[in-house]
Amino acid sequence: MIDPRIIREKPEIVYESLKKRGVEFDIETLLNIDEKRRKLIQETEKMKNEKNELSDEIARLKKGSFSPSDKIEHLRVLGKTIENIEQQLRVVEKKWEDRLLMMPNIPHSTVPVGRGDEENKVVRVWGEKPAFDFQPLAHWDIGEKLDILDFKRAAKITGSRFTLYKSLGALLERALINFMLDLHTKEGYIEVLPPFMVNRETMTGTGQLPKFEEELFKLEGLDYFLIPTAEVPVTNIHRDEILKEDELPLKYVSYTPCFRKEAGAHGKDTRGLTRQHQFNKVEIVKFAHPEKSYQELEGLLQDAENVLKQLRIHYRVSMLCTGDLGFSASKTYDIEVWLPGQNIYREISSCSNFESFQARRAKIRYRKTGGKIDFVHTLNGSGLAVGRTVMAIMENFQKSDGSITIPEVLRPYMHGISQIP
């Protein structure tokens, strides 16, 4: 969440932020609730001080053999009044927090202003598009011809937007997961394997709740959710903790399956591996010092790019504009991989700095050398989305005879296999 002091003391910054994002939000109501909340807090504290002083006075009167009956009655009434005000305060604080949790993060000053993805800014391109002397196929056609991807049987088993990987297709998926984990651990990330189900507090900590509940898979009868990304459990590793300043940055890498309803994507990217309800991903997460978090973002982006460089796959990096920026992010880069079979760039990783937005929600702090406590900055990125990397390999390394060349760096993970079939 945004620092409430900014909303209270510099509302013009928040108004401008919402305008840039193209988001409507009733700030005036939030400020009015906050004012009422602070008045109730002051009133409660004043009465509690009076109650303490009165209690001490009653104790002194009793020692002096005086009858403090009138003051005891006043103490009883005061206690009841405090209970009533605290009850009002709980209601007001719930309204205040509920509204505050629905407010998006403030974009960083370097984020371009725009309304949608067409106004994102390409910041660099790596490699070149592959040249073919035949018409390249989309990965779903290649996968079905090689019998390594089976969409029909997956639909029979579960439904649409699921995939059954078979034979060397399953091996390729597993090889990529292990390759990415090995690469990132060599870069200094600590590997973790978190739970794939999380509670409501964990989802709230990273910003998925309460705003995006309709996009999540929830377990019936339990207040648990299937994770949409490893960002959620990994960021919450240090929820309600105070880290040491010299521990920062903390760097984690995690493989998990991810589960998404894709509620806002009906009829969009329905073919192939692009937009699945279940998919695998390797995620990299950082807890950074506020003064160094944008330097850490550039490093995290390079670590994600390194996967594609090692695989020798052409891509471009775009900085998202304000209208395309995620709810919790202050700044985001998308890595977009080239898919020749579809003649399109497709996002394969988003690398974001959330500044203190998630840390405030999850109460993740650090103690400075002088003893003062402040919130860390959290960052995360896909390193990479595994299914989308599979389709990138299939489309970029396809051959005229229908086979696929395996990138050299992956072959040790593929038992030495250099080609499918």
CATH number at residue 401: 3.30.930.10
Could you tell me if 74 and 146 lie in one domain? Answer: no
Please say if the pLDDT value at position 132 is more than 90. yes
What confidence score (pLDDT) does residue 369 get? 85
Asked if residue 110 belongs to a domain, the reply is no
Domain containing 57 equals 4-100
What confidence score (pLDDT) does residue 85 get? 95
Could you tell me if 92 and 230 lie in one domain? Answer: no
What confidence score (pLDDT) does residue 268 get? 74
Could you tell me if 45 and 136 lie in one domain? Answer: no
Domain-ending residue, one of 100, 131, 150: 100
Please say if the pLDDT value at position 264 is more than 70. no
Read off the pLDDT band of 56 (50, 70, 90): confident
Domain-ending residue, one of 100, 129, 158: 100
What confidence score (pLDDT) does residue 265 get? 61
Q: Which residues carry out catalysis?
A: 260, 275, 347, 350, 388
Residue type, 18: L
**Contact present, 51 and 78 (Cβ < 8 Å):** yes
Domain count along the chain? 2
Rg over alpha carbons for the chain, rounded to the nearest Å, is 27
Mean pLDDT of 245-274: 88
Please say if the pLDDT value at position 64 is more than 80. no
Could you tell me if 30 and 158 lie in one domain? Answer: no
Asked if residue 106 belongs to a domain, the reply is no
**Contact present, 300 and 189 (Cβ < 8 Å):** no
Read off the pLDDT band of 285 (50, 70, 90): very high
Mode of pairing for the β-strands spanning 344-353 and 377-385: antiparallel
**Contact present, 161 and 347 (Cβ < 8 Å):** no
Mean pLDDT of 321-333: 98
Please say if the pLDDT value at position 298 is more than 80. yes
What confidence score (pLDDT) does residue 99 get? 95
Read off the pLDDT band of 73 (50, 70, 90): confident
H helical segments located in 131-276: 139-146, 151-157, 168-186, 200-206, 231-235
What confidence score (pLDDT) does residue 25 get? 95
**Contact present, 203 and 225 (Cβ < 8 Å):** yes
Could you tell me if 147 and 253 lie in one domain? Answer: yes
Could you tell me if 152 and 50 lie in one domain? Answer: no
What confidence score (pLDDT) does residue 70 get? 83
Average pLDDT, the chain: 95
Q: pLDDT tens, 343-400?
A: 999 999 999 999 999 999 999 999 998 899 999 999 999 999 999 999 999 999 999 9
* Closest alpha carbon to 394 in 311, 276, 301, 302: 311
Asked if residue 112 belongs to a domain, the reply is no
What confidence score (pLDDT) does residue 406 get? 98
Please say if the pLDDT value at position 68 is more than 80. no
Could you tell me if 209 and 314 lie in one domain? Answer: yes
Could you tell me if 300 and 364 lie in one domain? Answer: yes
Domain-ending residue, one of 45, 70, 100: 100
Report residue 134: phi and psi, to 5°: -145, 170
Asked if residue 90 belongs to a domain, the reply is yes
Query: N- to C-terminal Cα distance for the chain?
Result: 50
Asked if residue 108 belongs to a domain, the reply is no
User: What pTM was estimated for this model as a whole?
Assistant: 0.93
Assigned token pair, 226:
């299937």
**Contact present, 210 and 102 (Cβ < 8 Å):** yes
CATH number at residue 89: 1.10.287.40
Could you tell me if 96 and 220 lie in one domain? Answer: no
Asked if residue 105 belongs to a domain, the reply is no
Mean pLDDT of 397-411: 98
Could you tell me if 45 and 123 lie in one domain? Answer: no
Please say if the pLDDT value at position 412 is more than 90. yes
In sequence order, which residues have a C-beta less than 8 Å from that of residue 30 and are 6 or more positions away? Answer: 7, 96, 99, 100, 103
Asked if residue 246 belongs to a domain, the reply is yes
Read off the pLDDT band of 65 (50, 70, 90): low
Please say if the pLDDT value at position 14 is more than 80. yes
- What is the rounded distance in angstroms from the CA atom of residue 278 to the CA atom of residue 257? 7
What confidence score (pLDDT) does residue 89 get? 96
Could you tell me if 130 and 59 lie in one domain? Answer: no
- What is the rounded distance in angstroms from the CA atom of residue 149 to the CA atom of residue 162? 10
Could you tell me if 313 and 385 lie in one domain? Answer: yes
